[in-house]
């Protein structure tokens, strides 16, 4: 590996051990076996490196969202069964004490202390929304300017942020996939009944 990859790997380890705010450039250098100048040369700043390290961690864990392909081959795309299956897999990534999702809550709570990371991750939310859509709906990721990104994609990311907050705050009482699915079913039932002519 070169310095760029070593820095990214070291930054990922530091994030999981210390979080965004407590990780220093020197921590990353020590964990990566590189030097301080490498951070600026390869990433521009420590915060940009931490932002990319966080996205790399999310990408690694997001492979588990569809159960290593099981959701794509199991329940029908767009079905309530698929909805529950994917959320069950996503929630599975939130269960452990070493879950990386506490980093998301750190950014929400302390983003002003790492504004460059916060702003970088805010810009990347749209990509996250695009990536969630095919897990639930099937097919390929929509184009970045497709209207589904601003509707379905934002719907799924809003649910995900709420679940992350619940699982970090009180895992014993946090919403399970079955509860989330039943809630959606009840919303759909009420909407269908409200649409009937009187």
* Interatomic CA distance for residues 143 and 155, integer angstroms: 17
Tell me whether residue 189 is exposed, middle or buried, using C-beta atoms within 10 angstroms of its C-beta: 0 to 12, 13 to 18, 19 or more.
exposed
**What is the reported pLDDT for 174?**
96
User: Could you report the per-residue pLDDT of 57-69, keeping only the tens digit for each?
Assistant: 988 887 777 655 5
Average pLDDT of 93-117? 85
| pLDDT band, residue 32 (cuts 50/70/90) | very high
**What is the reported pLDDT for 160?**
94
| pLDDT band, residue 40 (cuts 50/70/90) | very high
Q: State yes or no: pLDDT of 189 exceeds 60.
A: yes
* Tokens 């269960």, residue located: 95
User: Could you report the per-residue pLDDT of 108-161, keeping only the tens digit for each?
Assistant: 888 888 888 888 888 888 888 999 999 999 999 999 999 999 999 999 999 999
Tell me what percent of the residues of the chain surpass a pLDDT of 70. Answer: 94
| pLDDT band, residue 175 (cuts 50/70/90) | very high
Q: How far apart are the first and last CA of the chain?
A: 68
Per DSSP, 142 falls in state P
**What is the reported pLDDT for 71?**
47
Exposure of 86 in the CB half-sphere (CA atoms within 13 A):
26
Q: State yes or no: pLDDT of 163 exceeds 90.
A: yes
| pLDDT band, residue 197 (cuts 50/70/90) | confident
Tell me what percent of the residues of the chain surpass a pLDDT of 90. Answer: 67
């Amino acid at each position: 590996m070169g310095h760029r990859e070593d820095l990214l790997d070291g930054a990922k380890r530091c994030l999981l051990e210390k979080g965004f705010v407590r990780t220093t450039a020197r921590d990353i250098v020590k964990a990566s076996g590189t030097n301080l100048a490498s951070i600026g040369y390869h990433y521009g700043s420590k915060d940009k490196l931490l932002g990319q390290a966080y996205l790399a961690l999310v990408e690694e864990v997001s492979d588990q969202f569809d159960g290593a392909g099981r959701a794509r081959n199991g329940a029908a795309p767009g079905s309530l069964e698929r909805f529950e299956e994917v959320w069950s897999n996503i929630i599975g990534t939130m269960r452990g004490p070493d879950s990386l999702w506490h980093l998301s809550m750190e950014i929400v709570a302390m983003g002003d202390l790492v504004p460059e990371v916060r702003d970088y991750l805010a810009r990347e939310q749209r990509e996250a929304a695009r990536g969630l859509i095919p897990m639930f709906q099937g097919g390929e990721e929509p184009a970045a300017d497709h209207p589904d990104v601003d509707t379905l994609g934002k719907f799924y990311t809003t649910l995900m942020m709420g679940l992350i907050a619940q699982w970090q705050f009180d895992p014993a009482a946090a919403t399970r996939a079955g509860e989330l699915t039943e809630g959606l079913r009840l919303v759909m039932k009420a909407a269908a009944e409200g649409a009937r002519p009187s």
